[in-house]
Amino acid sequence: MTRKTLKGLCAAAALLLAVPAFSAGPAPAAKKHAAVKPAAVKPAAAKQEAAEQEPAAQEPGEPVKKASLSGRALTPVEKEIKIGSIEVYTPVNGITTAQETYDILSPFDGRVEEVQTELFAFVTPESVLGRLVSTEMAALLDSTSEGNKRQTERRWQDVYKYYEVKPLEQGVVTNIYTSPKTQVYKGDRLFTVAKKVIMIGKNTKPLYSILAREMTADIKHYRTAEEFKARLNNFIPLKDSIYYNRLWLEVLDLRTGIRIGEQFDGSLFVGSNSNTRLVPRKSLFEFNGRKYLFMEVETGLMTEEEAEILRPGSHFLEINNPAKETEDGKTTK
């Protein structure tokens, strides 16, 4: 075999060896490596998904983990429902206002001889607020000397009489528009009387009980400390503050000394009960406007799906709420 022929055979052999090496080279290896990546991730994802769906196994002797409802941890501490008494008062303050007022007008032209009442005096239909005389009688009295005035009054008493000004209904005098020896005309205002006095105010501390009309209160003037009885006529919860209310308290025992437009402080009686079941208020939670308590119950018949509730028990599970409650009824973390 010649040297030239040997060279050609070597070149052909090298070419044949090169083709398989090229076809089994980097490209297939890359495909195999790309297929391994998803396979390595899938078991971890499946394990994580299974962990989310199934609770972790609990070792014997390990403390029971607390359940939760709406972020409130439930401590597995059993407590007994107490039997006792509860009494609720709430402090209040406000300003007294005159309500259902009416004016007393002069019945004729004349002059006010006397004013026999004072501001904030309690008056009845028998009370004399002042005395009037006609214009003619006033002129006659003015022309008579002081020594002869009594004699003139007696001489002309059948013709010229003093007119006594009286209120139509009982109430408190809130305004006096005249004074002695003042000329008045028919229809002029002489006095204003309020048939009712209402203290408009609010409770000054959070109130967790429900209010109702006709509740009673004791109020007193902030300076004189004079006390009065009052009754709750109406109330409206304040905006953004569920534990505070605008209050309308009617003063029941009207008498001289009740001042209009001044501050009064007091205490509103909300209610009381004895021999009743009591639990800490913070052990309750609210949902859809209803209050709930994790309470012991006595059960009867049971199936796999249902249980018969016979009666409530005397124990409950305390709820530990880490959130702090503010005075407007909201909670903060």
CA 168 vs. chain centroid, Å, equals 40
Nearest to residue 208, comparing CAs of 248, 247, 241? 241
**What are the residue ranges of helices labelled H in the chain?**
3-23, 26-53, 135-142, 149-155
Token pair recorded at residue 2: 């010649």
pLDDT tens per residue, range 77-116: 899 999 999 999 999 999 999 999 999 999 999 999 999 9
The pLDDT of residue 111:
95
CA 56 vs. chain centroid, Å, equals 45
Distance CA 195, CA 173 (A): 9
Domain definitions of the chain by residue range: 3-44, 68-81+279-332, 86-95+196-272, 107-191
CB 257 within 8 A of CB 120: yes
Distance CA 285, CA 317 (A): 12
Distance CA 130, CA 176 (A): 10
pLDDT tens per residue, range 241-288: 889 999 999 999 999 889 999 999 999 999 999 999 999 998 888 899
User: Phi and psi for 17 in degrees, rounded to 5?
Assistant: -70, -35
Distance CA 301, CA 309 (A): 8
Class of domain 107-191: mainly beta
Fold for the domain defined by 86-95+196-272? Elongation Factor Tu (Ef-tu); domain 3 (2.40.30)
The pTM of the whole model exceeds 0.75: no
pLDDT tens per residue, range 54-76: 445 445 445 445 555 555 555 56
**Residue keyed to tokens 């008493």:** 157
